[in-house]
Structure 1
Amino acid sequence: MDDVATDELDPEFAAVLRDGRVADLPPWHSMSVAEARRVEDEAFSAGDGPPVERVDDRRIDGPAGDVPVRIYWPEPPSENAGDPFPALIFCHGGGWVLGTLDSADDLCREFATRVGAVVISVDYRLAPEHPFPAAVEDAWTALEWTRDESDSLGIDPDRIGVAGTSAGGGLAAAVALRARDRELSLAIQVLCYPILDRNLETPSYREHADAQLLSRADMAWFWDRYLDETADAGDPLAAPLRADSLAGCPPAVIATAGHDVLRSEGVAYADRLQSASVETRHCHYPSLAHGFLSLADEVSRAGTAMGELTSAVEKALL
């Protein structure tokens, strides 16, 4: 597996880990599911993202009941104010076990404002109550609904993409694979430090096994709750890196961090997409760690990365 170099951890990032709001987070695998959800909600739902034109909470018909979504409309541009917006279906992180619409609120506001896109955030069903493929099905439902309702939402149906962080990045990749297989065109897939495989023996897993925000033991805990005894860890919708081919997938923007157990699989996915002649922008940040977009206001290098990523997405959608 090809990989990339890792720099020393960014000093501001190190200070946040030592003294900031995430300094005292217990390891995810050391908690019960209920406790981990409470801790995640307290740690990541307090951020304030930029103002947007409008936010609307809705519930859409899903495969097992309603799927809650939160829709963010950006301020319309001064020129071409009446034109439809591009859109991103956004899936939050949290190892498929944690995360809410609130915990992703600041990131969704950032993407809506910086990209100039309508962002549809999906409150997909969580494991272990709802193991794979429930989250994939809910994300797919949100994509189909957005396409069907594009006129009423003010969205250009030819400029719809998928995006996500961590587990949500893996879900976005899975939806992109399904869209390819069903001949449904997507404008972009935005995969931010995504979970793409259950292989816990990659170079980055070995190097950063005890990382503070996401460790090897944490990822084992998440995978054990996401896949029940009937699930196949090699199913590409669970582990997109296991897909036989990535040819024909939508253009990609992929972000990886040097100090992240998920780095190696993100790098491998970017390499495979490029080898399959898929237009791919790989943004690698050697001095940052997992979850850096959520710390963009506290770590200047992470703030710069946010700007670079959203600029790449904006250009792709335009």
Structure 2
Amino acid sequence: MAVAGRLAFPAADYPGIDPQWVRLWNEHGGSMVRADEVELEDYRKDPAKYSFTYSTYKGGWVLGGLQSEAAWCRHICNESNIKVIDVDYRMGPEHKFPTAIHDCWDAVKWAIKNADALNIDPKSVSFGGLSAGGQMSAVLAHLARDEAIAIKLHLMIVPATDMRYCHRSIKQLDKSNCPYESARLYQDLPWGPLGREQWFLKYWLGEDDDEQTRLLNNWKLTPVLAPNFADLPPAHIITAEFDLERDEGEYYGKLLRDAGNEVSLKRYTGVPHAFAHYNHPERGLSKSFEFIEDTAELLRAVHYDNSQ
């Protein structure tokens, strides 16, 4: 059934948007539901000792679950020959900032400590996530450096690296309250309108204006404010052309690069935030499949190329 009324996407207003995405959104966007209340998933291809990667799922720190990343995790496991561990971290509103970050970091350290039992190589570790997961991946890289834990790669997929412009008091983005052109241009798009971002923060940070201001100036929520960018693990950042978070993600990459870190970046054209999850085998988005193949190839090279 096609999406009707306010949910239909006004493609004519956004020249260059991928028509395949528009069709998929208009046909199926209204039926999307949250996926939660599931347990930890462990994906492995055979019993050999594996390199492994951690996945932190998207959902604004308040929605989602292991099922939302299952297709990606299975594909990465099969194509990259690495073990994938997806973390079912605690979410808001019951567990506010920074609980999710601490859960993910504890999970990484737990896996390394229990490498023999999990049959993984503790010296071949990477982690990554999408949107909120990308934000947490950025923070985890700093924590890993500070605790001298070697990480092969941290992967940030359409990451939320600076949400100060999403403070609950802001009604409309302009140059006076937001430095990122992509956020100003695409603040009304599906998958990332300003109101949706503020809704996430409402349940992760609370509704007090002063408290939101204080937390949004904490680098563990806003990684562009991190006090030290030196000596971080190699990074790969993925952005989407029509994503309001595009420019902040690319700016974060610049901060990493300016500090002398190894950084690669790819912007996927024609698609909005969370395009990577349009991966249904029959009704999927070609850019989503491209992303999955790209990521599998990258992780395979990172973990098994002797030059890395």
Structure whose residues are more often strand by fraction:
1
| Structure 1 equivalent of residue 276 of structure 2 | 293
Task: Letter of the 2:298 partner, please give it.
Answer: A
- Of the three residues 114, 117, 120, the one matched with 1:149 is 114
2:164/2:222 contact within 8 Å kept: no
Who is 1:252 aligned against? 235
Aligned match for 1:214, one of 185, 192, 197: 192
Residue 40 of structure 2 is aligned to residue 69 of structure 1: yes
- The aligned length equals 270
SS of structure 1 residue aligned to 2:215: coil
Identical amino acids, percent of aligned pairs = 28
Question: Is the aligned partner of 1:127 residue 2:92?
Answer: yes
* Equivalence for 1:204: 182
Work out whether 1:17 is the aligned partner of 2:28: no
CA contact (8 A) 2:234 2:263 kept: yes
- Out of 292, 295, 304, the residue aligned to residue 309 of structure 1 is 295
2:122 and 2:265 map into 1 onto residues whose CA distance is 25
**Counterparts of 1:194 and 1:114, CA distance in 2:** 24
Task: Look up the equivalent residue of 2:18 and give its one-letter code.
Answer: D
Shift of 1:113: 1.8
Instruction: Give the AA of the match of 2:45.
Output: P
Matched, 1:40 2:26: no
The amino acid that maps onto 1:317 is: H
Equivalences for residues 202-281 of structure 1 within 5 A: 202-228=180-206, 230=211, 232-281=215-264
- Between 1:85-94 and 1:308-317, the stretch displaced more is 308-317
Whether the aligned pair in 2 keeps the contact of 1:198 and 1:223 (CA below 8 Å) is no
Structure 2: any 5+ residue segments left out of the alignment?
1-13, 166-177
Question: Which runs of 4 or more aligned residues in structure 1 lie more than 6 Å from their structure 2 counterparts after TM superposition?
Answer: none
Alpha-carbon contact 2:54-2:85 (below 8 Å) kept: yes
- Partners of 2:120 and 2:29 lie apart in 1 by 37
CA deviations over 1:155-200 (Å, ceiling 9, x no partner): 1111111111110111111111111122221111011111111132
* SS class of match (1:104): helix
Equivalent position amino acid for 1:97 in 2? V
Q: State the AA in 2 paired with 1:302.
A: S
2:151 matches 1:165: no
Structure 1 length normalisation: TM-score? 0.80
Question: How many Å separate the matches in 1 of 2:139 and 2:150?
Answer: 14
**Residue identity opposite 1:243 in structure 2:** A
- TM norm structure 2: 0.82
- Answer whether contact 1:204 1:264 (CA < 8 A) is retained: yes
Which structure would you say has the larger RCO, counting Cα contacts within 8 Å and 6 or more residues apart?
Answer: 1
Corresponding letter in the other structure for 1:69: L
Distance in 1 (CA, whole Å) between partners of 2:45 and 2:113 is 20
Q: Give the superposition deviation at 1:313.
A: 2.2
Structure number having the greater helix percentage: 2
From 64, 77, 80, the counterpart of 1:99: 64
- 1:110-147: CA deviation from partner (whole Å, max 9, x where unpaired): 22222221111111110111111100110011101110
Partner of 2:10: none
Q: Aligned AA for 1:216?
A: L
CA distance in 2, matches of 1:312, 1:281: 11
Instruction: Give the conservation status (yes or no) of the 8 Å contact 1:7–1:258.
Output: no
User: What RMSD over aligned residues (CA atoms) do the two structures have, in Å?
Assistant: 2.1
Q: Residue 227 of structure 1 aligns to which amino acid in structure 2?
A: L
Q: Which runs of 5+ in 1 are unaligned?
A: 1-5, 26-38, 46-56, 58-67, 77-81
